[in-house]
Amino acid sequence: MTGQYLTCNLETDDITVSSHLSSLTVVGDKISQLQGEGKDSTSIHLNFAVKERQDEPCILAGAEELELILDSKDAFELGLLLTAMGMKNHKSSELSVVEVKLYNLIAELNQM
């Protein structure tokens, strides 16, 4: 259905968003999934609150929030890469914990 949202809280530690001119510190606020018009048309919206703004002039100097929007395919690929990189220094035996957590998250999201 068009315009249907699924939103969850997103709490992160500090994340640095930077360009060649300046940087901002943000924290995750929420993550939403918006169903588009087509069968496979889904976008994922990550919302970040700006924690520390730079005093230096830059294009984002006055920003209070930032949003990253991905289509579902890109969100899936990015999620896999982030998980793999985050797990790189963990024992392979910990993978089963990740599998259980992922299974539970999918089940929870399907109930919403």
pLDDT in tens, 58-74: 677 778 888 999 998 99
Q: According to the model, what pLDDT value does residue 36 have?
A: 73
Q: Is the pLDDT of residue 4 over 70?
A: no
Alpha-carbon distance of 42 to 4, in angstroms, equals: 10
Q: Is the pLDDT of residue 92 over 90?
A: no
Q: According to the model, what pLDDT value does residue 32 have?
A: 92
| Number of domains forming the structure of the chain | 1
The pTM score is 0.77
